[in-house]
């Protein structure tokens, strides 16, 4: 069975051109003029691009005494509805739990995925078992990215010595370090002080996490990664201080990437000052939404290339779950949804305004992260042999975002009421039609795990450079006799 997508404009990260795309089975078989197939999808007036990759989601995440509501079934369905064809979740070992054990749990959770997925591993504690199992995780399980939480003290947070040890191990294994960069000690102090002063509402969540805590932690992680000789990926970069650290590091030749979220690009801190407790609590996430100055900085970073990827950190809690924090903002489960809305919102507010070109849009929603994760060109590419993960985006199709019509399982949407122009006409996941003329028809269980080997091109380059520039003893002649 073959499918041909006809009459569209193919957009890749570096060029656009008119061509048909032929899909045979699960992969792209040909790109060219006048192609034929068993099924014809008409892409007249549309852009044909690599399906979105969201490298930061938490599906059924155990967190703050509950589990995030969207699981691999509803979450990946929502992804496809919004033009995303691959998501990457985080395996979170409990303190003392082995990494391979945690992967087993995530394998069990992900059997109903509608689109392809992969995992990052989180290093939530440190010991010999973690050190040993990291090798198996990279070399046998195909996970080359390891996240470190510098926040959530007393829960997921690791300290600098643990982070440095883990980063060094990753450098040996050809892995990539990831960080949630917020100074967890300072956040804990500020939170306790705010609560003691009677600041209990959701706005205090934002007060407890000023941009300095993120800027400081980002700088610290960059320096530790540089000393360990490992590439670094900074998740949910939300502010100028953090962006500035990443920008500077990249200008110095350090291998660092920054990931802004669609939420931070389009929503701001005024959400926390709403008189409705539920409205504000639903938008509690870490880092919190910032002011317009920070927002502009993130857009500029995407334009300049100092920020590389737009993600969502999709971690959707229902209103009832958010209410665990009535009377104490530190108990509001942190997280917001976005996986379904990232592509239409970024197209509308990025390409629609002229901030981004269509090619830059493809780069930051798909191709850049496929390269970073070392699964390019299987993913993130429209080219022969690539997986047929394809988004046909109709730039004229519009909607108003509403919880009433979303695929996500939660009872609200943080983007409620926002107008978007640029929606999927068709979405293919490994050749299977998941969105047909705007209608979702995906299947649970279709999604497969994507293995990603270590030692990608950036790891190889960085380790060569570190080897070349490593400290060496000076060869000397005429060493004086000891002076005693």
Ligand X SMILES: NC(=O)NCCC(=O)O
Rounded to an integer, what distance in angstroms lies between the CA atom of residue 407 and that of residue 98? 34
| Shortest spacing between CB 155 and ligand X, in angstroms | 10
| Partner in contact with 335, chosen from ligand X, Zn ion, none, beta carbon below 5 to 8 Å by kind | ligand X
237 close to 200: Cβ distance less than 8 angstroms: no
| Partner in contact with 425, chosen from ligand X, Zn ion, none, beta carbon below 5 to 8 Å by kind | none
Binding pattern to Zn ion, positions 199-238, x when CB under 5 A?
A: ----------------------------------------
Residues 296-325 that bind Zn ion (CB under 5 A): 313
Q: Which CB sits closer to ligand X, 186 or 315?
A: 315
What is the 3-state secondary structure of 428-455?
Answer: EECCEEEEECCEECCCCCCCCECCCCCC
Residues 52-71 that bind Zn ion (CB under 5 A): none
Interface positions with ligand X (CB under 6 A): 58, 180, 285-286, 313, 315, 334-335
Binding pattern to Zn ion, positions 173-192, x when CB under 5 A?
A: -------x------------
255 close to 170: Cβ distance less than 8 angstroms: no
| Shortest spacing between CB 208 and ligand X, in angstroms | 13
291 close to 317: Cβ distance less than 8 angstroms: no
| Shortest spacing between CB 338 and ligand X, in angstroms | 11
| Partner in contact with 334, chosen from ligand X, Zn ion, none, beta carbon below 5 to 8 Å by kind | ligand X
243 near Zn ion, rule: CB under 5 A:
no
At 212 the three-state DSSP class reads: helix
DSSP output for 237-296: --SHHHHHHHHHHHHTT--EEE--BHHHHH--GGGGG-S-HHHHHHT--SSPP--HHHHH
| Shortest spacing between CB 424 and Zn ion, in angstroms | 24
Cis peptide before 287 (omega within 30 of 0): yes
Pairing label, strands 16-18, 9-11: antiparallel
Q: Which CB sits closer to Zn ion, 5 or 88?
A: 88
Q: Which CB sits closer to ligand X, 235 or 346?
A: 235
Q: Which residue is nearest to ligand X (CB)?
A: 334
| Shortest spacing between CB 92 and ligand X, in angstroms | 9
What's the alpha-carbon Rg for the chain, to the nearest Å? 23
CA pseudo-torsion sign 117, 118, 124, 128: positive
| Shortest spacing between CB 324 and ligand X, in angstroms | 14
**Where along the sequence are the contacts to Zn ion (CB under 5 A)?**
180, 313
């Amino acid at each position: 069975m073959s499918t041909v997508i006809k009459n569209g404009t193919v957009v890749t990260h570096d060029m656009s051109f008119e061509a048909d795309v032929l899909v045979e089975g699960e992969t792209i078989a040909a790109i060219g003029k006048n192609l034929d197939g068993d099924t014809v999808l008409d892409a007249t007036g549309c852009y044909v691009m690599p399906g979105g990759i969201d490298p930061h989601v938490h599906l059924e995440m155990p967190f703050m005494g509950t589990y995030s509501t969207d699981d691999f079934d509803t979450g990946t369905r929502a992804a496809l509805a919004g033009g995303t064809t691959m998501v990457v979740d985080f395996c979170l070992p409990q303190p003392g739990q082995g990494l391979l054990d945690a992967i087993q749990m995530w394998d069990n959770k992900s059997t109903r995925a509608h689109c392809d997925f992969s995992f990052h591993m989180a290093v939530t504690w440190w010991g010999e078992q973690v050190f040993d199992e990291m090798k198996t995780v990279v070399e046998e399980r195909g996970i080359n990215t390891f996240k470190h939480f510098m926040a959530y003290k007393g829960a997921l947070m690791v300290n600098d010595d643990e982070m440095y040890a883990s980063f060094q191990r990753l450098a040996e294994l050809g892995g990539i370090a990831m960080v949630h960069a917020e100074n967890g000690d300072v956040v804990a102090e500020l939170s306790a002080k705010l609560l003691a002063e009677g600041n209990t509402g959701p706005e205090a969540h934002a007060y407890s996490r000023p941009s300095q805590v993120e800027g400081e932690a980002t700088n610290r992680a960059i320096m530790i990664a540089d000393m360990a000789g490992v590439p670094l990926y900074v998740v949910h970069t939300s502010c100028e201080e953090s962006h500035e650290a990443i920008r500077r590091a990249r200008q110095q030749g350090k291998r660092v990437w920054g990931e802004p979220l669609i939420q931070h690009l389009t929503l701001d801190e005024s959400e926390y000052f709403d008189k409705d407790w539920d409205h504000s609590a639903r938008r509690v996430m870490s880092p919190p939404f910032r002011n317009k100055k920070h927002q502009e900085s993130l857009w500029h970073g995407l334009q300049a290339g100092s920020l590389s990827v737009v993600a969502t950190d999709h971690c959707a809690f229902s209103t009832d779950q958010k209410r665990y924090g009535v009377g104490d903002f530190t108990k509001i489960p942190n997280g917001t949804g976005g996986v379904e809305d990232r592509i239409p919102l970024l197209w509308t507010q990025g390409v629609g305004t002229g901030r981004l070109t269509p090619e830059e849009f493809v780069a930051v929603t798909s191709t850049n992260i496929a390269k970073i994760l070392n699964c390019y060109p299987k993913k993130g590419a429209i080219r022969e042999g690539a997986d047929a993960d394809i988004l046909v985006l109709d730039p004229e199709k519009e909607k108003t975002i509403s919880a009433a019509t979303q695929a996500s399982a939660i009872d609200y949407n943080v983007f409620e009421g926002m107008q978007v122009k640029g929606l999927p006409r068709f979405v293919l996941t490994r050749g299977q039609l998941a969105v047909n003329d705007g209608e979702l028809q995906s299947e649970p269980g279709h999604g497969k795990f994507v293995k990603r080997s270590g030692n990608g091109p950036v790891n190889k380059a960085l380790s060569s450079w570190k080897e070349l520039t490593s400290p060496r003893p000076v060869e000397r002649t005429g060493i004086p006799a000891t002076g005693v």
